[in-house]
Amino acid sequence: MFVKIKGTGSCLPEKVLDNFEISQLVDTNDEWIQSRTGIKSRHIAREETAVSMAAKAAKRALEDAQVAAEEIDLLIVSSVSSEQLLPCTACSVQKEIGAVNAAAFDLNAACSGFIVAYQMAAGQIKAGLSKKALLIGVECLSNIVNWEDRGTCILFGDGAGAAVVSADEDGNIDGRGNIEIPSVLHSDGSRGEVLTCQNPTGKRADGSLKGYVAMDGREIYKFAARQVPVVVKEILEKAGKSVEEVDLFVLHQANARIVDAVARRLHIGIEKFPMNLQEYGNTSSASVPILLNELNRNGLLKKGQKLVLAGFGAGLSWGADILEWDIKG
Ligand code: UT7
C-alpha cells in the first residue's frame, strides 16, 4: 500500500485507577464494570498533560522509525481533551520534539481520530504534499469526565499513541496499484446528541454549558456493533481483500462486548481482535495507536501482515483503514 507505518510509540500516565478505587468515587463495583465493559483499570493523568504525553509518544515513535524530528513535514494531533485550545496541541508538540519543518495542526474526530489522521496523511503523501508524517492520538479524558456520573467515568482513561508514516520506499501502491487511499470514513451529525461535551471554556449567561462528557451508552453500543462490521467490509471491498485475508483487526478500545459483537458479525475468531482496554479503558483517539504500539513492541506484528484499523464514536463518526505492516517483527 502507498503509505506505511515506520515506527510507533506510546505514553501512559503513571497513576493507575482500578475498579476498586473508582467504586469509592461512585456507586459501582468491579464485577459490574468488568462484566459490562471488560475494563479493570485505567491510567489517569496527574502531572502529565496532553502535550507532555503526546511528545513522549512521538519521540518514541520517531526513535522506533529511526526518523529525525526534522524530517517530519506533517504533524497531526487528534484529541478532544487537551488542556489547551491555543496554540493547538500539535504546535506545542512540535516545539517539544523539535519537528521544526512540520506543518502542525489538531483534528477532532473523537474516537475515530486516528483513523481520520491516517487518511489525511495518506492523502497528503499521495498528493506529493508530504513525505513523512507524525500522527498522534492523545487524550486527557479525565479533564472532561464527570466524576460523579457512574455511567461514563468508569469507561475512560488517559494516554497517547503515535505513529510515523511515510510513502512506501519504491512509491508503489500495494505492489499492484489497486488501492490508493486505503481508508473509508463516515459521519452522521444528525445523531450527534448521543455523545456530547460542551466546551468547558464556553460561556452562556444562563450557565447551561457544562464541560462534561454526556452519553447515551446503549445507543453508542448499538451504533458501534452495527456500523463497525459494515465499514470493515467496505474497506475490504475497496482493497479487494476478504475478511479471512486480514491478520489482525485493531479496533477502537471502547468495550470488550463491542469488540466481541464485531468479531461475531464478521464471523472471525476473537483471537484476531487484540484488546488492551482491560488495562487502559477507553482512551478515545489514543486507543488505536496505543494498541498498535503494544503489538509492535511485543513482536506480535510480522512484516507483510494485513491490518484493519477501525474507529467509531462521537459525531457520530466512524471509519476504517487497511495497511500492510512494514516493520520487521
Ligand atoms: O468511544 C465510544 C464511547 N462510548 C462507548 O463506547 C459506550 C458504549 N456503551 C457501553 O459501553 C455500555 O452501554 C455501558 C457500559 C456504558 C453501559 O452498559 P449497559 O449494559 O448498556 O448498561 P445500561 O446503561 O443499560 O444500564 C444498566 C443498569 C442501569 O440500572 P437499572 O436502570 O437497570 O436499574 C444503570 O443505572 O446498570 C446501571 N449502571 C451501573 N451500575 C453499576 C450504569 N452504570 C453503572 C455502573 N455501576 N458504573
Tens digit of each residue's pLDDT (9 = 90 or more) over 209-223 = 568 999 999 999 999
Cβ 80 under 6 angstroms from ligand 1:
no
**Percent over 70 (pLDDT), the chain:** 91
* Cα 220 to middle of ligand 1, angstroms: 11
Cβ 225 under 6 angstroms from ligand 1:
no
Q: Give me the residue label for grid cell 500492510.
A: 324
Kindly report, residue by residue over 220-274, the tens digit of the pLDDT: 999 999 999 999 999 999 888 999 999 999 999 999 999 999 999 999 999 999 9
**How confident is residue 327, by pLDDT bands cut at 50, 70 and 90?**
confident
The answer to whether 281 and 45 have CB atoms below 8 angstroms apart is no
What pLDDT is stored for residue 202 in this prediction?
A: 65
Question: DSSP letter string over 103-158?
Answer: EEEEE--GGGHHHHHHHHHHHHHHTTS-SEEEEEEEEEGGGTS-TT-HHHHTTB-E
Average pLDDT over residues 12-36: 97
Say which amino acid occupies 10.
Answer: S
* Cα 19 to middle of ligand 1, angstroms: 15
What average pLDDT does the structure give for the chain?
92
Q: Is the pLDDT of residue 174 over 90?
A: no
Average pLDDT over residues 157-172: 83
What pLDDT is stored for residue 176 in this prediction?
A: 43
Q: Is the pLDDT of residue 301 over 60?
A: yes
Q: Is the pLDDT of residue 173 over 50?
A: no
Closest residue (by CA) to atom 44 of ligand 1? 151
The answer to whether 137 and 12 have CB atoms below 8 angstroms apart is no
Burial class of residue 327 (count of CB atoms within 10 Å of its CB; 0-12, 13-18, 19+): middle
Beta strand extents in 63-157 (DSSP E only): 74-78, 103-107, 132-140
Cβ 214 under 6 angstroms from ligand 1:
no
Beta strand extents in 82-131 (DSSP E only): 103-107
Which residue numbers are catalytic? 111, 252, 282
* Cα 36 to middle of ligand 1, angstroms: 7
Kindly report, residue by residue over 117-131, the tens digit of the pLDDT: 999 998 898 888 999
Point out the ligand 1 atom lying closest to the alpha carbon of residue 252. 1
How many angstroms separate the CA atoms of 51 and 40, rounded? Answer: 26
* pTM of the predicted structure, to 2 decimals: 0.95
* Cα 222 to middle of ligand 1, angstroms: 12
End-to-end CA distance of the chain: give it in Å, rounded: 18
Cβ 154 under 6 angstroms from ligand 1:
yes
Q: Give me the residue label for grid cell 457512574.
A: 150
Cβ 144 under 6 angstroms from ligand 1:
no
